[in-house]
A and B are shown apart, each in its own frame.
Chain A
């Protein structure tokens, strides 16, 4: 009889504990979902929906100048795009621009980081000074370079070039020099980012490995190539990924400096899409160009992330 009573008591006490646990877990999940919902909805509203709308728009002919021809055209915009010489030219310009500026940012950023790492004094000041270009608006940077620095006969760069015996150059009016100029401007503005990331990574490298290497009489170059570079690889790849993404979609500085000119010499894909959509008012085709840029960005990012995983 006593045994029966104990058994009943045990059963009664077990059930509430189990139910309570499940209910608690369920409540926490619901609470987490409630907290997440506003941010998630905001994300949907500001990225997913516009993206889907962009893709939808690219399936239409939406030409404000000839409204009577508007309507659904399926993949017509993409067929036109693939046959558009200017699209391929601007894609090439984008790749050259992105490749050049990212390579320069990493190389110069790493060089500066190595230099500053060995500084005994003034490192803090150098960091502050280095960060200044990054905080400026790209449009402001572009305007300063265009009007004060690069104007032939009147700009500072031209003044220095003349005094160095190179003579006056049409930095923004010559197709090749214009491309070099916009690459230099972008590099100048964003190298500090690479510098800061790589400097932080350098600071975190273990000293004992270098100590061991020095004991084995490794040269400075050997230490750099076999220790520093491999250990920095994750940081370098991360910098490359981030800078590539930014450079592929760079707009403000180039728009301000050359607006894609002279002619189409510096017209990256972004600028071409802008012109098609808002200057020529061919919004359907402009949307297709923007989708193409998105695809290119995804492909390149995919390659870079795959590169990162490779060990």
Chain B
């Protein structure tokens, strides 16, 4: 047997083979992993998942853990349907603009995208996205007994519907709730606030800036999805009505009282910097122990319970919004939903629907939440049945006392589809109001002047 002598030719051949395997191998391994996963829960649906096999769609999402988990499971969808899904991650501030530009130019770049529920009025007015009723009613595309539309949180379906038609399927959502330091509250004999007035007095009692602890913080930074995400709840709780007498009205006594409360608490009991804070800043400050309470998205619970950063784990508790003078509690009705781009050809629209159905299904919601192997657990699942699952409840209660009760209470009792004005002009109105709120917050304008100015700017927008 002659001994093996390496030559240039053999080295090149070996190298080429190794490179080829390195390129293709991982894909095969991923495919194998996807095949090994149990797809039986999906195949029990009485539809042909492979009916548009071979299609490719692009989905725009924000860079958030609840979408990361979905992206991780996408190979299962490919194995189930033969449809390739390409994800594009776009920050929240830009995804609205990019989506609108894509929809208005009808390029069909994004088959679907994580959509702001306040934009459906705009989308529907322009006929940019499909009414989903058509797809839900088509028995070749949807198995109603399997999909169980009614199991999806009703408030979020209402938020994504216009004139009774559903335009976006809720995937992940949130409510705003009261988050507080139980240890600090207990030490002073305080209970979570039942009224806005009580919330203010709790903040006053705990406000000790010299010890670098402030009583409360709310979003101060201007934005339709920032300070104009919190203010509408206060506005409604003070008895505000966006469509007073059928006309969009943002000023008036209820608005002035609501904004006065907001400005008061931020000026008296919040860190000065909070005037420019968004929710991540608030959650970070709370994690460091410098804020005693805040009202914001329930999903911020995962941030304040991050073991790598937080100093207050085990000391947190939750409650629903305090009531306003009107006797109402109003939480946010926010969710990221998936619409179908009308500019797509029919086959791609069907592929997009199959993706949406898969993503919103109870099985996928569970697999991206308490059944997910990775470190991050979702707290914004769209299924009532998942929220009642003992495994899920156990996972969620790890965030702190009363988390599930506060969140479900808010979802079932405190949601209000008219929490914000649902009109096509929302992008402009939201921004105008956000600016007005910040003007009042910074002292650039008085509360009445800021609101009257906003009203003056909004009126021409509403004229057809």
Contacts and interface: CB of A to CB of B under 8 A. Distances in A.
Q: Do A and B bind each other?
A: yes
A278 B138 CA distance: 37
Interface in B418-460: 424-428, 431-432, 435-436, 438-439, 441-445, 450, 457
A222 interface: no
B442 A175 contact: yes
Max count, chain A CB within 10 A of own CB: residue among B97, B431, B435? B435
Contact of B222 (A65, A259, A282): A259
Contacts of B439: 262-264
A151 interface: yes
Given A65-B424, A65-B425, A66-B425, A263 B445 contact: yes
Contacts of B441: 173, 262
B464 A66 contact: yes
A211 interface: no
Contacts of B432: 280
Nearest to A170: B272
Given A151-B273, A263-B444, A263-B445, A64 B126 contact: yes
Interface in A173-216: 173-175, 178
B464 A152 contact: no
A273 interface: no
Given A68-B464, A262-B439, A173 B126 contact: no
B100 interface: yes
Main secondary structure of the interface of A (DSSP, over half): loop
Given A65-B125, A67-B126, A261-B438, A281 B273 contact: no
A67 B442 contact: no
A258 B443 CA distance: 15
Contacts of B104: 64
B435 A264 contact: yes
Interface footprint category on A? 20 to 34
A155 B272 CA distance: 12
A289 interface: no
Given A173-B220, A259-B222, A262-B444, A278 B273 contact: no
B116 to A, nearest CB: 12
Nearest to B101: A278
B168 interface: no
B348 to A, nearest CB: 23
A260 B464 CA distance: 29
Contacts of A278: 97
A181 to B, nearest CB: 11
Interface of B: 97, 100, 104, 122, 125-126, 212, 220-224, 271-273, 275-276, 290, 424-428, 431-432, 435-436, 438-439, 441-445, 450, 457, 461, 464
Interface of A: 64-69, 86, 146, 151-155, 168, 170, 172-175, 178, 258-265, 275, 278-282
Given A64-B104, A263-B222, 11 more contacts: A65-B424, A151-B276, A153-B290, A155-B273, A170-B442, A172-B276, A173-B275, A175-B443, A261-B276, A262-B439, A282-B428
Instruction: Name the 9 nearest CB pairs between A and B, nearest first.
Output: A263-B439, A262-B442, A280-B428, A173-B275, A152-B272, A263-B444, A152-B273, A65-B424, A65-B425
